Amino acid sequence: MKLDLDEYAYLDSPIHRWEPRCKLVGLMALVFAFASIEDLRLAPVMVGMTVLLYAASRLPVSFWLRRIRYPGYFLLGIVVLLPVLSGETVVWQWGWLALRREGLLAVVLITSRFVSILTVGFVLFGTTPFLITVRAMRSLGLPAILADMLLLSYRYLFEIAGNLAQMQRSMRLRGFQSRGNRWLIPNWQDLNRLASLSGTLFIRSYEQAERIYKAMRLRGYGAQTRAIAPIHRAKTPANQLWSGVGLAIALIVAISFAVAEVVV
C-alpha cells in the first residue's frame, strides 16, 4: 500500500495555491458542515460540491480510487445490515430477506456523507506538503509538543515499518511460522514470540529516540522558545486575494449547509 500523503502536492491548481491556513480552516469547516447533514435532499448538493472541489484540485482519479477502497470496505461492513434490519416499508422481498426503505435511505445518506468528507480530506492533505500543513496547524494554535511529535513520528514511521518488516523476514528465515492447529485457541508460545518481536521494535525505537534527542540538543533544540517558522506566503497579490476569497467561499458554503439543514 502506498503511504505517501502528499505525492501530488507539487501540482498546480487553485487549491494548491490556496494559502495553507485558509485552506485548513475553510475545508475543515466544510467537512463539519457535511457531517451535520441529516436531510437526504441536501446529499446531492454535497456530493456535487465535493466533485467540483476534487476537479478543481486536479488530483488524479487514480489517487482517489486507491485511497477510497480500503475505508470503503470498512464502511460497507458497518452499514450492510441496515436495509435488512431497519425500517418498516418493505421495498423488495425474497423469502425471509426483505429490503426496507428507511434502512436503504439511511445507507445512501451515510455513504454520501462518508465519501464527501473523505474526499475533502484527500484534497486538504493531498494538495499541501505535509510539513507545511503541520506548520499551518502550529500557527493556528497546535501546541509545540504535539507539532514536534507529529513531525518526528511522521519522519520515522516508514523507517520503523521497514524495521519491523526486516525483523519479521528474519524470523521467517529462522523457521518461525505460526502453528495454530486448534481452532479459537491461540498458540501461547507463538504469542510470546510475537510479544518479544513487538517489544524489540519498541526498544529499538526507544534507543534510536535517545540518539535523536542528543543530536537535537547538540543543534540547540529546547534552548529557547522558538518563533513559529513563517509559512511560505502567497507571493503575488492575485494569490493573496484568491486565498481570502477561497476562505470566504468555503465558509459561506459551510454556513449555508448548516442553515439549510435547520430551515429545510
Partner 1 sequence: MHIPDGILPAPACIGGYALTGLATWYSLRQINRRPTPTEDMPKAALLTAAFFVASSIHLPIPPASVHLVLNGLLGVVLGYYAFPAILIGLFFQAVMFGHGGLTTLGVNAAMMGIPALLAYHLFLWHSRLQRSLPQKLPQKWVMPLFAFLAGAFGLGLAALIFFTLIITTIPSGFNVATEQTAVTGLSIAHIPLILIEGIFTAMLVSFLQRVKPELLKG
Least distance between partner 1 and beta carbon 190 (Å): 7
Least distance between partner 1 and beta carbon 202 (Å): 5
Strand segments (E) across the chain: 90-94, 97-100
Least distance between partner 1 and beta carbon 227 (Å): 16
CA-angle at 29, arms to 228 and 143, nearest 5°? 25
Q: Which is nearer to partner 1, 109 or 239 (CB)?
A: 109
Q: Which is nearer to partner 1, 75 or 231 (CB)?
A: 75
Q: Which residue has the cell 517489544?
A: 199
Q: Which is nearer to partner 1, 17 or 204 (CB)?
A: 204
**Percentages (nearest 5) of helix, strand, coil residues in the chain:** 70, 5, 25
**Terminal-residue alpha carbon distance, the chain:** 42
Q: Which is nearer to partner 1, 193 or 232 (CB)?
A: 193
Closest CA to 107 of 61, 72, 70: 72
Least distance between partner 1 and beta carbon 235 (Å): 27
**253 contacts 245 by C-beta, under 8 angstroms:** no
